[in-house]
């Protein structure tokens, strides 16, 4: 076990993508869902809001888990200063992807780590820029028909078929999936958790 203190680590997220990324660190961990209600309408800068929402998620799980290290995250897409959440309909998904066509968007992830034994905590954010291809309306419709965009912020999944709509990214690939792996591993070292 790489964790020098043999502490329990909890990922406060039920996202299968975050779980998959966390597993890459080869640390033993548990998954617990947070009952924190996200409020995307708060008037804050995107990076501050991402950290604030991740803190809320981490704190809600921390209450019932003493002597644990809690990790929580929140990710969303920002395009021309507006938040793009998960589309609620095929029409909304089409509208999002049409807007993004040939342009760039920012994927912002806020992460909070709380040590419930010592009270130590930190919140940080990472931003990755995603440059979209000039794709056709037919391609948008075909992509929506796969069902993939419906539970994804910004209506695309870079790590799946949505990669065919993306030209390139600048920043951490895993950040676009929902958890900035390299930065998270660095921050965990400050909590006595060594990954490599």
- 48 belongs to the catalytic site: no
Confidence of residue 5 (pLDDT cuts 50, 70, 90): low
Residue ranges and CATH numbers for the domains of the chain are 8-189 (3.90.950.10)
Backbone angles phi, psi at 175, to 5 degrees: -60, -40
Give the CA count within 13 Å in the CB-facing half-sphere of 179: 25
- Quick check: 179 pLDDT over 50? yes
pLDDT at 37: 83
| Of 74, 106, 115, 172, catalytic | 74
Q: Are 111 and 184 in contact (CB under 8 A)?
A: yes
Chain-wide mean pLDDT for the chain? 93
Could you tell me if residue 108 is left (phi over 0), alpha (psi between -120 and 50 degrees) or otherwise beta?
beta
pLDDT of residue 104 exceeding 90: yes
How many angstroms separate the CA atoms of 111 and 187, rounded?
Answer: 10
Q: What is the reported pLDDT for 3?
A: 47
Average pLDDT value for residue range 29-40: 88
Under 8 Å between Cβ of 193 and 27: yes
Three-state SS at 183: helix
Extract the runs of DSSP E, i.e. beta strands, from the chain: 8-11, 30-31, 68-79, 82-84, 104-115, 121-132, 166-170
pLDDT at 41 over 70: yes
Tell how strand 104-115 and strand 121-132 pair up.
antiparallel
What are 81-103's pLDDT values in tens digits? Answer: 888 888 999 999 999 999 999 99
The pLDDT score that the predictor gives to residue 49 is: 93
Q: With H, G, I as helix, E, B as strand and everything else as coil, classify residue 55.
A: helix
Q: Does residue 73 surpass a pLDDT of 90?
A: yes
CA 20-21-25 angle, 5° bins: 110
pLDDT, position 146: 97
List C-alpha distances in Å: 42 to 65, 79, 80, 147, 187: 28, 17, 17, 30, 27
- Give pLDDT tens digits for 23-32: 999 999 999 9
Phi and psi at 47, nearest 5°, equal -65, -35
């Amino acid at each position: 076990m790489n964790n020098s203190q043999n502490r329990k680590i909890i990922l406060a997220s039920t996202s299968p993508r975050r779980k998959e990324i966390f597993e890459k660190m080869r640390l033993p961990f548990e998954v617990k869902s947070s009952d924190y209600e996200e409020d995307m309408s708060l008037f804050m800068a995107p990076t501050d809001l991402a950290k604030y929402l991740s803190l809320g998620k981490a704190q809600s799980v921390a209450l019932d888990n003493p002597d644990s290290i809690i990790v929580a995250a929140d990710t969303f897409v920002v395009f021309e200063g507006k938040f793009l959440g998960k589309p609620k309909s095929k029409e909304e998904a089409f509208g999002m992807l049409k807007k993004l066509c040939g342009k760039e968007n920012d994927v912002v992830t806020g992460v909070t780590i709380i040590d419930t034994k010592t009270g130590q905590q930190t919140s940080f954010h990472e931003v990755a820029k995603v440059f979209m291809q000039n794709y056709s309306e037919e391609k948008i419709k075909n992509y929506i028909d796969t069902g993939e965009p419906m539970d994804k912020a910004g209506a695309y999944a870079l790590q799946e078929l949505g990669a065919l709509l993306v030209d390139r990214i600048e920043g951490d690939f895993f950040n676009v999936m929902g958890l900035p792996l390299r930065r998270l591993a660095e921050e965990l070292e400050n909590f006595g958790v060594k990954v490599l």
